[in-house]
Amino acid sequence: MAHRLVVFIALWLQTGCMQNDLSFRDKLIHQVENNAQLHGIPAQAVLVNDNGDITFKYAFEASKSRDDSTLNEHSVFPIFSVSKLFATVLVFQLVEKNSSH
């Protein structure tokens, strides 16, 4: 009986590990698609740049399948004045960092 229990637990643990065996790329794609569905985002593009090395790029349109998407890493999104907010926050972070020294 104990042998069967050990075998059952071992198989159960392997099954659990296999379900979580997604690559970092797959996890990012899954996150982008979940965010689109959860927040009603019709289209988005993600690019991860690590010191000049592009480690990940992905574009997603909710209305298209993965193979039919017209978005890519060169797509331009009209974000208008939102970019001013990002620039302002970054400038204030630099000011705070320099004034704390």
Contact 92/98 with Cβ under 8 angstroms?
Answer: no
DSSP letter for each residue of 30-93: HHHHHHHHHHT--EEEEEEEETTEEEEEEEEETTS-GGG----TT-----TTHHHHHHHHHHHH
Please give the DSSP secondary-structure letter assigned to residue 22.
-
Query: Residue ranges of the domains in the chain?
Result: 23-99
- One digit per residue, pLDDT tens: the chain, 101 residues? 555 655 566 555 555 544 555 788 899 899 888 988 888 888 888 888 888 898 888 888 877 665 666 777 777 877 777 778 888 888 999 999 887 66
Nearest alpha-carbon partner for 71 in 90, 52, 96, 44: 44
Residue 3 is encoded by which pair of tokens?
């042998």
**Is pTM, for the whole model, over 0.85?**
no
